[in-house]
């Protein structure tokens, strides 16, 4: 299997074609961003950690019967994924009030929600990825009603599985962002990544942040934080 030409380069990853396969070759980059890319820093080792964490999580979700575009890990910084047509949506699941949810609604950070909440955001950096509701999603032709329902159902299934995984690692899954796409058969699959870049993760005993909020708020070095998450997750399989 050979890496073809560069198809796309984003803030965190570069995607390459794989000749004669409906797959993509992904390289994780050592770049940390905040504020939709307004702040950027190169942090050695970050791409490796996000690739390894995402690979562990996608393999776990597969064992729980949750399919994704993930095919296999190639190296510490690379993986192969199935090519999908991405929804132009971010699907956010919230278990505990934090971040923009707390700011918008005046709910104290750390307040446990009575049930998980699924939110949609339009993927548009120029508009600062605005919050949108189900009617907006269908009106903008981002997904039809059946797809909206399926995205919500899949997001909650993933949340249920991830909460179990992180709980065993003494980590509270506060909230997280998912992205989805449709493969060549029209099947909706989990896509992109699941890592401390896309999740809020708090230590169950100390509430110490184990995610990108450390970078966002300049409270420390994210490398040992991400390494701690990886170590705890890989320890679950031993």
pLDDT tens-digit series, residues 126-169: 999 999 999 999 999 999 999 999 999 999 999 999 999 999 99
Mean pLDDT of the chain: 95
Please write the tens of the pLDDT for every residue from 105-138. 999 999 999 999 999 999 998 999 999 999 999 9
Provide the number of structural domains found in the chain.
2
Domain boundary among 31, 52, 82: 82
Whole-number percent of the chain with pLDDT over 90: 91
> Residue 201 in contact with residue 172, Cβ under 8 Å?
yes
Give a yes or no: residue 123 inside a domain.
yes
Span 22-27, average pLDDT:
96
> Residue 157 in contact with residue 192, Cβ under 8 Å?
no
How far apart (Å, rounded) are the C-alpha atoms in residues 161 and 154? 11
Chain CA centroid to CA 219, Å: 22
Return the pLDDT at 1. Answer: 84
Whole-number percent of the chain with pLDDT over 70: 98
Return the pLDDT at 189. Answer: 98
Phi, psi at 90, each rounded to 5°: -105, 130
- CATH code: domain of residue 172: 3.30.470.20
Return the pLDDT at 178. Answer: 98
Reported confidence tier of residue 22, pLDDT bands at 50, 70, 90 = very high
Give a yes or no: residue 91 inside a domain.
yes
- Based on the fold, state whether residues 167 and 190 are members of the same structural domain: yes
Q: Which domain holds residue 179?
A: 85-221
- Based on the fold, state whether residues 44 and 131 are members of the same structural domain: no
Domain boundary among 58, 82, 106: 82
- Based on the fold, state whether residues 165 and 127 are members of the same structural domain: yes
Compute CA distances 82 → 16, 19, 182, whole Å.
12, 13, 10
How far apart (Å, rounded) are the C-alpha atoms in residues 30 and 75? 15
Reported confidence tier of residue 237, pLDDT bands at 50, 70, 90 = confident
Which helix (H) or strand (E) segment is 171 a member of?
Answer: strand 171-182
pLDDT at 40 over 90: no
- Based on the fold, state whether residues 28 and 77 are members of the same structural domain: yes
- Based on the fold, state whether residues 52 and 139 are members of the same structural domain: no
Return the pLDDT at 36. Answer: 64
- Based on the fold, state whether residues 202 and 116 are members of the same structural domain: yes
Chain CA centroid to CA 227, Å: 17
pLDDT at 20 over 90: no
- Based on the fold, state whether residues 25 and 136 are members of the same structural domain: no
How far apart (Å, rounded) are the C-alpha atoms in residues 37 and 126? 10
pLDDT at 49 over 70: yes
- Based on the fold, state whether residues 132 and 76 are members of the same structural domain: no
- Based on the fold, state whether residues 18 and 104 are members of the same structural domain: no
Domain boundary among 82, 109, 124: 82
- Based on the fold, state whether residues 20 and 58 are members of the same structural domain: yes
Give a yes or no: residue 130 inside a domain.
yes
- Based on the fold, state whether residues 57 and 98 are members of the same structural domain: no
pLDDT at 37 over 70: no
- Based on the fold, state whether residues 42 and 73 are members of the same structural domain: yes
CA atoms within 13 A on the CB side of 103: 2
């Amino acid at each position: 299997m050979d890496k073809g030409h560069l198809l796309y380069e984003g803030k965190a990853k570069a995607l390459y074609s794989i000749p004669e396969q409906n797959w993509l070759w992904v390289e994780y980059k050592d770049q940390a961003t905040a504020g939709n890319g307004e702040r950027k820093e190169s942090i050695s080792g970050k791409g490796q950690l996000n690739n390894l964490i995402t690979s562990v999580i996608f393999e776990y979700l597969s064992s729980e019967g949750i399919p994704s575009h993930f095919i296999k890990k190639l190296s510490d910084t690379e993986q192969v994924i199935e090519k999908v047509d991405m929804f132009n949506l971010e699907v956010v699941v919230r278990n505990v009030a934090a971040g923009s949810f707390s700011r918008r609604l005046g709910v104290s950070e750390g307040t446990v929600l009575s049930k998980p909440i699924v939110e949609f955001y339009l993927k548009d950096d120029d508009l600062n990825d605005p919050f949108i509701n189900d009617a907006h999603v269908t009106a903008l032709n981002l997904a039809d009603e059946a797809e909206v329902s399926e995205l919500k159902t899949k997001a909650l299934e993933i949340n249920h599985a991830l909460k179990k995984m992180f709980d065993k690692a003494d980590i509270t899954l506060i909230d997280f962002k998912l992205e989805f796409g449709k493969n060549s058969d029209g099947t909706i699959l989990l896509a992109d990544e699941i890592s401390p870049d896309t999740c809020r993760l708090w230590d169950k005993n100390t509430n110490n942040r184990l995610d990108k909020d450390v970078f966002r708020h300049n409270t420390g070095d994210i490398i040992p934080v991400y390494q701690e998450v990886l170590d705890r997750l890989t320890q679950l399989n031993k």
